[in-house]
A and B are shown apart, each in its own frame.
Chain A
Amino acid sequence: MRADSNIVRSLVWLILILPAFSLAQSGLTEYGMSGIPQASVQNPAFRPHASLIIGLPAMSSVSAGVYNTAFSFDDIFVPKPGDDSLHLDLTRPISSKTDINYFSENVAIDLLMLGFKINNTFLTMGVRNRLTSRVYYTNDLMKFVWQGNADYVDQQLNLTGSGVYQEHLNDYYLGLSFPVTYGIDMGVRVNFLQGLSNLETQTPQLALLTRTNQQLGYELIAQTDFQVHTSGLTGLLTDSSSFSPVDYFLAFNNIGFSLDVGIDARLGDQFAVQASVIDFGKIYWYGSPRTYSSSADEVSFTGVEYDFTTDNENTPSEVYLDSLSSLLHVNENRNIYATTLRTKLFVNGQYFTLNRKNSFNLLFAGRFLEESFEYALSFGYTFAPSEKFAIKLNYSYLKYAPLNVGLGFYFNFKPFQIYFTTDNLAAAIKPTGQKYMGFHFGINILIPSSYHNDIPTQKQIGNTIVEP
């Protein structure tokens, strides 16, 4: 049993920590750090302070992040009394007052990235590999997993809303940042999306009732209205030995488009406002689509009939398991379907000190999820003493992880730039206690723009415009 718990713990750690190589879309600290070229991912209006940017393949932007609304690693792996070993204990998560929680993780890697300045316009292009997944689980589902149904006889366990969402794609983008007028920059980025794989579940009605039955003891009644879309996973799920990464990554069956727009407006010398809408788009899944849905809205299980007095081909346990497995009839179709990207919204207000070396920002970030809108608030302080270096401290509030102190910095040492941001610095110290973690780092080849042709002729360090 100890070996099993270790395996479970490792898996949880990997799930929670492995994506800690980066955190992409939820880079609250990074927002507004336009000295980092990759900041434009969150607002295409952001222009780096460079005339040329070359992202080192697979090194220019590596990000990952996790967010679990219900619990951290330490919340579920607790030490045994009198023993220094850890054991899984889901007591705390199931006592959550929230009916439904989720666990999400994101991974993004820039495969190619190029940006360059043409007059006042900055053009960026590249290929970014993005993996996003979320697992929704209801509180009742946790109770069922942890405690079973014995304590919930004659009570319905609501599993509606539980599901898995996964999206893996290559984003081929072309962005443009250009001044609209003095002090106002706009950015547009069009993204051609190559869908690699997708898994999307819908559970409009999922519940389990264990009911006492005078004659039969117990009766299991499950409401089973669900639908699962998959694409690109058939080979992996059916025969992993035949899975070909080359075929997987070079398949262009699934096509989508998205649009990112942003605006960066300076209000006077000390204030600036930025807003952006990211991932407004859709992907059409043509490649091996499979849609599985339940054929019945409700199934009931009262055990199996078994005759002990005759020669049976199967044992009672085999009959029982076969009956359970055949209880749920799943319809399958291969219709094409489409998914919409989870659009993000950012609104940031920034205040600069007169010397422009210090700035404060207040960010509202939101994301349209499957059934909800999730938001975060972030407050940051940036110190950018020169165009070669900037550091930012940030506090982020997320509904289920309210205390997040983030850190971001970049160093420009011509021609290279290294940068690092994290929304939760404590994750580096005690990752197991965090619900929200994310990192983003990379190395760029950055040729700073020595000659700024923007109006007026000013030197801009970070977001600070300074006198030459």
Chain B
Amino acid sequence: MVAPFIQTELTLRNLMGVDSSLQIGDDSLMVFYYQRDSILNITADNLVEIPDTVTSYYEFSLGDLTIGDIMQAASVTLNDLLPYVDPAVADTLSANDGNTTIFPPFQLQSPVTVDLSPYEQYETLTFSAGYFDIQITNQLPVTLTNIRFDIMDVVNNSVVQSVVLEQLFAGEVAHDTVFLKGKTLSNTFSYVIHSVESEGSYPDSVLIDLSKGLSLQMNARDMYVVSGVAKIENQIIYSTHEWVNLDFGDARLWEILFAGGELQYQMQSYLNLTLNILLQLSSASVDGVVPENNFDLPANSFYESSWGLANMDIDLTRDTNQPFNRMPIYLELVVQPTVNMVAFDSSDKVKATFVAKEMTAESVNGNLGKHLYLIDEDTLQLDLSFFDNITGQIIFDNPVLTFSYQNGFGVPIVAHTNLYGVNPITGDYLDFGIDSIVFNYPSTEGEVISDSLIFDKNNSNIVDFLAERPDKLIFSGDYQTNWNNDTVNFITRTSLLKANTEIRVPLVFSTTSLVFTDTVDFLNGQADIPVGSGALHLNVDNGLPFDLEISLLVPDSVTGEIIDHVDFDMIKSAVVDAGGNVLSPTQSDVTAVFNQSFIQNMSRANTLQLRAKTVTAEGGSIPVGLYSDYKLSVAISFEAKLQP
């Protein structure tokens, strides 16, 4: 029997199958396309580590306080001295009070004590600095000599200062200074004049005025006290910057704009004094306003508050010793004046605690340092399933791998990549041949650089790589920041370096031995085929740029082993031009003869395998393109000798 059997048309598109990785270009050329997003994804928190919580403790001692100048004057008149001089002299002086006469010589016969009024500003003080300036004025019209007196701390019964003046002319003012440093003095003093002498005015007559004598003036000035009991006047005890050290790992940040977080602060006073405290984040601003807080801290009290860090831009470079990672906090502690006496001590403290927590950064700039980060190994599954039925080596003409990225980091980054594939059959690793990728980076904050790198046959092993048909790519490596020692870095919260990879392989290739294999569910379990022998005739219109040698293989339905086959004559390739493009199809009539043994073996099979061995045009020397509209038309007829 002879009869027409099957007409079928195979386009290359159908031959390759419906595969999402195969695309058809506008010119119908088939292209293998693979894309993988985020093969490399670096976020801001990969490069900068913002500590979650930073706690700083400070103690401020009261220190030396200042006491206001105190002036106290006293005088010792002749009248006051009369009891202590020779009585005769005393009488003379008394008799001549108001007269101009010769002032008689005199000397004290016993000390004279002049008590001063107590200072009202304090009760007792221990001085770290200060002076008593003593001024003695001879108001008498005669020269005084051998003036010796002590300034006595009446309460402590101690001599504050002994003053000796050899000579003090009439009307002359003498000075002396008492250094208060280290002295603890009460507020009550007296002068104890041990001696005063005068040789009189003879021969000159002078006015004798008993209301005149020695004027003693003691000015306390520039007093710094470390403890005591006193009335304290308004004074700044502390005005300085303290530094909160923000630990960003190895990064040296110069500026940070917080996206969120909180700076809590607590002040604990151990003073008996009320303080007015000014806290200021002097290098920070929120919408142009410097955050500060001015509050009173009563004696021995506690105060706490906080600043929200959101939208707070802070200059971290103010510390000249460490112009990075340092947030200054300006503190000014001002003692409030007391009405009453207050006991105090310079070691009394105010403790401050600053806690910055839940910090998130909107942007930072500085220098992140030169660091190496590992790239987690990633496996990209290449879906080359359309090649499942094709064996043999394929040399692609122009495959391209494009590495595109967007970089918002103002940080020089270089990636050292390992890109290799795995041969699914041998398990061999195939190096793609990419060593490093230098990423361009923006020069201004907010800018995002988009760029791409192309790897083709001229700068990689892509041709050899794909010839081995790896079923997966393994991507790993590391990336390094500031590889070029560029110190200017900036990163925002949303900064990102995202790299995508795309592989485009136009199906233009040459091959000397490519085998298509497909399985046809031909018989569907039919056991007996009543055919003894025969032949299959193929009328072929070959529009493919391949010579085809087709075989029908019979696999054993149990073992899969090929138990028989028939071979068709060669089907000639379509006519192609020098560029491998099909000009016109070639018609062929081919026949395969099968015998009874083949038919019997078919009974043992559930399927038939169609195997087509191809050679691209001109013996595989010309790369040919696979255009989706290339087609192979086959009309199959059979000739069979029935054997019922």
Contact = CB atoms under 8 A, between A and B. Distances in A.
B526 interface: yes
Contacts of A318: 524
Residue of A220, A316, A320 most packed against chain B (CB within 10 A): A316
A91 to B, nearest CB: 15
A150 interface: yes
Contacts of A218: 2-4, 637
A249 interface: no
B643 A1 contact: yes
B637 A216 contact: yes
A219 interface: yes
A304 B2 contact: no
B80 interface: no
Interface stretch (B148-156, B390-398, B514-522): B514-522
B7 interface: yes
Contact of A316 (B518, B522, B537): B522
Residue of A216, A304, A308 most packed against chain B (CB within 10 A): A308
A315 B610 CA distance: 14
A307 interface: yes
A310 interface: yes
B522 A320 contact: no
B610 A219 contact: no
Contact of A308 (B3, B518, B524, B643): B518
B533 to A, nearest CB: 12
B4 A317 contact: no
B639 A150 contact: yes
A215 B636 CA distance: 10
A305 B6 contact: yes
A308 B389 CA distance: 13
A206 interface: no
B6 to A, nearest CB: 5
A148 B1 contact: yes
Nearest to B535: A150
A210 interface: yes
A217 interface: yes
B6 A306 contact: yes
B520 A217 contact: no
Contacts of B9: 305, 307
B5 interface: yes
B621 to A, nearest CB: 29
Contacts of A1: 643-644
B6 A304 contact: yes
Interface string B1-44: 11111111110001101000000000000000000000000000
B4 A301 contact: yes
Nearest to B607: A315
Given A150-B2, A315-B524, A217 B15 contact: no
B169 to A, nearest CB: 134
Contact of A317 (B518, B522, B537, B539): B522
B2 A149 contact: yes
A323 to B, nearest CB: 10
A308 B10 contact: yes
A150 B639 CA distance: 7
B88 interface: no
Contact of B8 (A149, A301, A307, A315): A307
DSSP class of B's interface residues: helix, strand, loop or mixed? strand
A304 B539 contact: no
Contact of B537 (A148, A149, A217): A217
A220 to B, nearest CB: 6
Contact of A302 (B2, B4, B17, B526): B4
Interface in A316-346: 316-318, 320
A317 B526 contact: yes
Contacts of B4: 213, 216-220, 301-303
A220 B4 CA distance: 7
Interface in B622-644: 635-637, 639, 641-644
B2 A210 contact: yes
Given A302-B4, A305-B8, A308-B10, A217 B636 contact: yes
Contacts of A119: none
A215 B635 contact: yes
Contacts of B71: none
Contacts of B538: 217
B70 interface: no
B14 A320 contact: no
A215 B539 contact: yes
A309 B637 contact: no
A74 B518 CA distance: 51
A219 B4 CA distance: 6
A333 B562 CA distance: 53
A150 B642 CA distance: 11
Residue of B7, B14, B524, B641 most packed against chain A (CB within 10 A): B7
A310 B14 contact: yes
B523 A317 contact: yes
Nearest to A147: B1
A153 interface: yes
Contacts of A305: 6-9
A4 interface: yes
A213 B2 CA distance: 12
A304 B17 CA distance: 21
Nearest to B8: A306
A301 B637 CA distance: 12
A312 B17 CA distance: 14
B67 to A, nearest CB: 104
A214 interface: yes
A215 B526 CA distance: 30
Contacts of B643: 1
A217 B635 contact: yes
Contacts of B1: 148-150
A208 to B, nearest CB: 11
Nearest to A219: B4
Contacts of B637: 216-218, 303
Interface in B81-137: none
B407 to A, nearest CB: 44
A218 B610 CA distance: 22
Contacts of B521: 312, 315
Contacts of B5: 217, 303-304, 316, 320
A309 B539 contact: no
Contacts of A219: 4
A302 to B, nearest CB: 5
A303 B6 contact: yes
Contacts of B541: 215
A26 B538 CA distance: 55
Contacts of B523: 315, 317
B635 A303 contact: yes
A216 B4 CA distance: 7
B636 A303 contact: yes
A215 B539 CA distance: 6
B298 to A, nearest CB: 88
A210 B638 CA distance: 12
Interface string B532-551: 00000111010000000000
A218 B3 CA distance: 6
Contacts of A220: 3-4
A143 to B, nearest CB: 12
Given A308-B610, A315-B524, A214 B539 contact: yes
B522 A303 contact: no
Contacts of A307: 8-9, 14
A316 B520 contact: yes
A320 B17 contact: no
The 10 closest A-B pairs by CB, nearest first: A217-B637, A303-B4, A309-B14, A148-B1, A216-B635, A315-B524, A218-B637, A150-B2, A218-B4, A306-B6
9 contacts: A4-B644, A149-B3, A216-B4, A302-B4, A303-B3, A303-B4, A305-B7, A306-B6, A310-B14
Interface of B: 1-10, 14-15, 17, 518, 520-524, 526, 537-539, 541, 610, 635-637, 639, 641-644
Given A153-B2, A217-B635, A309-B17, 6 more contacts: A215-B541, A220-B4, A301-B3, A302-B7, A305-B8, A307-B14
